[in-house]
Structure 1
Amino acid sequence: MTDKLKEYIQKVIIRQKYLKDLENFCFAPFIKIIVGARRVGKSFYLFSIIKKLLELNKLKENQIFYINKEWLEYDDIQDYKDLNNYFLKWKKENKVGNNFFLGIDEVQEIKDWQKFILSIWSSYPQSIIFITGSNSKLLSKDIGTNLRGRYISKKIFPLSLNEFSLFSNKNIDNELLFEYINYGGLPAINFIDDLNIKLEYLKGVYNTIFVKDLLEYENIRNTNLLKNIHKFLFKEFGNLINSKNISNFLKKENIKTSIETILNYMEFSFNSFLFDEVSRYDIRGKKLFEITKKIYSFDLGIRNSIVGINLQNDIGGIYENLVYNHFISNGFNVFVGILGEKEIDFIAEKSGKKIYIQVAYLLSDEKVIDREFGNLMKIKDGWEKIVISSDNLFVNNYEGIKHYNILDWLQNME
């Protein structure tokens, strides 16, 4: 293990929720892929795995083979043959047998990398293999297509509010929530003090990673069209979206394009993890509606840096986005519920468990209270039903339906 890797391992901040199933995940007989949008901390998750395995005496330092193609010292490794020669030399020098940890960051930078990975996996079945990668050469979502079903994956998300507090070394309160809403959960944002630089960093992540990577990977020629579609999706987050209303928006901007192109650009954006599309589910008919969906941003900071933030107009969508991201980052499948003419903001499912959720900024009057709680009371099954808002003084239980303050809920829901 190199001194540089030791330094990163020593200073890594552990994100505990990703290590709950550490041993089962690490020692499963598959290649492990760490996926997720760029800059969410995939490399540091890999460092935390190495750190924990060392602490648990599951590994020794001489058993760790690690390469990060963003580090200049590995610049000479250009293809799978270079990589294999480097590995064999390391294995001989460290007198390593068949048990070792192999981690490669930014694997797409090595030509035909899958030949090496598959060879190691078949030749050393007791080895632990981790890879990460994502840029214009290979989107994170597509890494597994090269491995012919011989892998399992774990997706890394931006920081939760609890993690944001840990990384920033600040107590959780309404002021921190406001900061989290404004600048999002990318880990690096916590180490930037200047507010203008925070925004420039977020814009840079968007322009150089999501736009540039998509343009190159998908061979997109119309940059302006892609950015305008993104702006529409950022502004309309939490609303029902289809290709027709995007087309109408583009026509008002005097941008002509086909529905097919719009659908393609949207799909490309979903594949890069910039947005999530959420299907609607008919609670009574128990079927999915696939045409019109809701869209949420993977990170509010990225969203706000591109279209700005107007709390008066955006707060409802912001709260929904926070709740949605919190559920999916904790392993839930999430849908929008349809109950006749009524809508249930979310249905979250995990391990046979189901939760119905309404999200509101404020339960400001009887009309709002009747809407948020009344919609849930029309659902006659026995699954948990909750309302989340920013209210502190509202009752915790209303007609058998639980109410949570959003700050408390974000801290305590796992």
Structure 2
Amino acid sequence: MEYYPRIIELEMEKWLKRREVILLKGPRQAGKTTLFVHLMEKLNGDYVTLEDEEMLRAFEKNPKMFVKRFGKTLFIDEAQYCKKAGKVIKLLFDLYPDLKLFVTGSGSFDIKVEVGKYLVGRAVYFELFPLNFEEFLIWKAKDLVGIFREYRKMLFDFIRGEDVHPETSFESEFGELLGEYVVFGGFPAVVKEEDYQIKKALLKNLYKTYLEKDVFFFLNVRHLEKFRDLMKALSFMTGDMLRYSSLSSDLKMDYKTLENYISILVNTYVIELVPPFHRNLVTEIKKAKKVYFVDTGLRNAILGDFSPLAQRTDKGKLLENFVVNEIKKYGEVRYWRTTGKAEVDFVLNFEGRIVPVEVKSFGKVRRSFLSFLSTYRPERAVVFTENDSGVKRVGSTDVLFVPHWFV
């Protein structure tokens, strides 16, 4: 099997030979099984999937006999099919000190299957998401990866206080790749496929499978039409504040049901909620969260819109969603908004530094951004935009203007 590298493998490396159970979580079709098979071959281990009913019965009814069939390194996939997976894994961990277990499950795993309470001190958790932009480039344009990493290093050198002089090359290639990534997302099977019609079909099938398996079968959500309506509404709301009362009214959905459905979407890695940044409890929003999608390709599949980025009316929303997904790897991300509706897209806490981040297609920075700079006087700020580059001094703040793909 041809293997395409994932960055998470480097993070997992130091845990491969330790005793702790490795639990790999993440959305459906993010590449968990592929990664497990790769690690199995690397470690000369054994692989089983609990989607196989015979394996599931053996695992549940006689776990001691189950592990005797295999060697000392065992990869257990699709663990969400076993309701008492946590209890069985704890038993195996305690009984067999020489057994190294790797366990994975789809997004519904954590909700339906109690694992954490059984494996306290016995497991280390990893999350595998769809490809980020760096991984996308590794798979699609390896010759540009080194240049991309230099751009990104320059961005974070600037945030750390160093002087930088941004100069870009290969703008059209990076722009084209970013356009494909933002429209079709980072699910591995979709990224590998070159035919745009097949990409669309794969994403639509992923959306359908998510609803039928995770939502309906595992999580027992019986009102799929209402769940679909919510997903569509949230897709239109990308980057907006999530106001439960108005959304509940618009969808004619019970408030508690709405809260439950939102929780499912968060825990199955479909959406993420960004909380507000606030220091002034009187004038700044402190409760409402903004909604974004873990993968923009899935978001576009929900809407049935795969138009090229340059032609889209929601281009700004997609670019904003792209940036938040990338910068969340580097620190806590929040957004800023006052009761007077002044707003900054994101506030990144990077190594203890508060860095306001604005995401724009074209045009000048908003007065709201200047208001944040005036109020909080950060040393550095970043604006991702298409029509400007360089460093400008705004009051007491150095502001870096760079293309969106610098992140």
TM-score range, shorter chain: 0.7 to 0.9
Distance 1:370 1:119, change over 3 A: closer
- 8 Å CA contact retained: 1:344, 1:375: no
Number of the residue aligned with 2:36: 46
Number of the residue aligned with 1:3: none
Number of the residue aligned with 2:118: 147
Number of the residue aligned with 1:20: 10
Structure 2: how far apart are the matches of 1:141 and 1:347? 34
Q: How far apart are residue 345 of structure 1 and its match?
A: 1.2
Q: Structure 2 regions of 5+ residues with no counterpart? A: 145-172
Q: Does 1:267 align with 2:257?
A: no
Number of the residue aligned with 1:396: 391
Number of the residue aligned with 1:190: 191
2:358 match: secondary structure = strand
Q: How far apart are residue 130 of structure 1 and its match?
A: 1.6
Number of the residue aligned with 1:65: 46
- 8 Å CA contact retained: 2:25, 2:107: no
- 8 Å CA contact retained: 1:12, 1:47: no
RMSD: 3.0
Structure 1: how far apart are the matches of 2:352 and 2:49? 39
Q: How far apart are residue 295 of structure 1 and its match?
A: 0.4
Q: Does 1:32 align with 2:22?
A: yes
Q: How far apart are residue 200 of structure 1 and its match?
A: 1.8
Structure 2: how far apart are the matches of 1:332 and 1:158? 19
Number of the residue aligned with 1:133: 105
Structure 2: how far apart are the matches of 1:260 and 1:112? 27
Per-residue CA shift, 1:124-146, capped at 9, x if unaligned?
4454322101276x457855345
Number of the residue aligned with 1:258: 254
Structure 1: how far apart are the matches of 2:312 and 2:181? 17
Moved over 6 A (4+): none
Distance 1:313 1:218, change over 3 A: same
Question: What is the 5 A alignment of 1:64-143?
Answer: 64-70=45-51, 75-78=54-57, 79-91=59-71, 100-110=72-82, 112-125=84-97, 127-134=99-106, 138-139=109-110
1:249 match: secondary structure = helix
Structure 2: how far apart are the matches of 1:326 and 1:350? 13
Distance 1:322 1:221, change over 3 A: same
Aligned identity (percent) is 24
Structure 1: how far apart are the matches of 2:354 and 2:113? 30
- 8 Å CA contact retained: 1:277, 1:295: yes
Query: Which amino acid in 1 is paired with 2:404?
Result: I
1:396 match: secondary structure = strand
Structure 1: how far apart are the matches of 2:118 and 2:351? 27
1:219 match: secondary structure = coil
1:296 match: secondary structure = strand
Structure 1: how far apart are the matches of 2:205 and 2:24? 23
Per-residue CA shift, 1:131-174, capped at 9, x if unaligned?
101276x4578553452423221111111122112223575521
Structure 2: how far apart are the matches of 1:189 and 1:245? 35
Structure 2: how far apart are the matches of 1:383 and 1:24? 36
Number of residue pairs aligned between Structure 1 and Structure 2: 368
- 8 Å CA contact retained: 1:35, 1:141: no
Structure 1: how far apart are the matches of 2:20 and 2:130? 25
2:10 match: secondary structure = coil
Structure 1: how far apart are the matches of 2:130 and 2:334? 20
Structure 2: how far apart are the matches of 1:40 and 1:305? 16
2:314 match: secondary structure = helix
Per-residue CA shift, 1:349-405, capped at 9, x if unaligned?
35545432111111x2xxx335375144224355542111122x4333343111221
Q: How far apart are residue 13 of structure 1 and its match?
A: 1.4
Q: Does 1:277 align with 2:249?
A: no
Query: Which amino acid in 2 is paired with 1:337?
Result: W
Which structure has the higher relative contact order (CA within 8 Å, separation 6+)?
Answer: 2
- 8 Å CA contact retained: 1:35, 1:140: no
Number of the residue aligned with 1:333: 332
Alignment TM-score, normalising by the size of structure 2: 0.80
Distance 1:293 1:142, change over 3 A: farther
Q: Does 1:204 align with 2:205?
A: yes
Q: Does 1:386 align with 2:385?
A: no
Structure 2: how far apart are the matches of 1:204 and 1:381? 48
1:282 match: secondary structure = coil
Q: How far apart are residue 194 of structure 1 and its match?
A: 2.9
Distance 1:229 1:361, change over 3 A: same
Number of the residue aligned with 2:346: 346
Number of the residue aligned with 1:173: 174
Q: Does 1:296 align with 2:268?
A: no
Number of the residue aligned with 1:371: 367
Structure 1: how far apart are the matches of 2:47 and 2:5? 19
Worse-matched range after superposition: 121-130 or 74-83: 74-83
Q: How far apart are residue 223 of structure 1 and its match?
A: 1.4
Query: Which amino acid in 1 is paired with 2:202?
Result: Y
Number of the residue aligned with 1:214: 215
Distance 1:45 1:243, change over 3 A: same
- 8 Å CA contact retained: 1:283, 1:339: no
Q: Structure 1 regions of 5+ residues with no counterpart? A: 1-7, 92-99, 251-255
Structure 2: how far apart are the matches of 1:258 and 1:390? 42
Distance 1:241 1:115, change over 3 A: closer
Distance 1:370 1:281, change over 3 A: closer
- 8 Å CA contact retained: 1:284, 1:339: no
Structure 2: how far apart are the matches of 1:396 and 1:346? 19
Alignment TM-score, normalising by the size of structure 1: 0.78
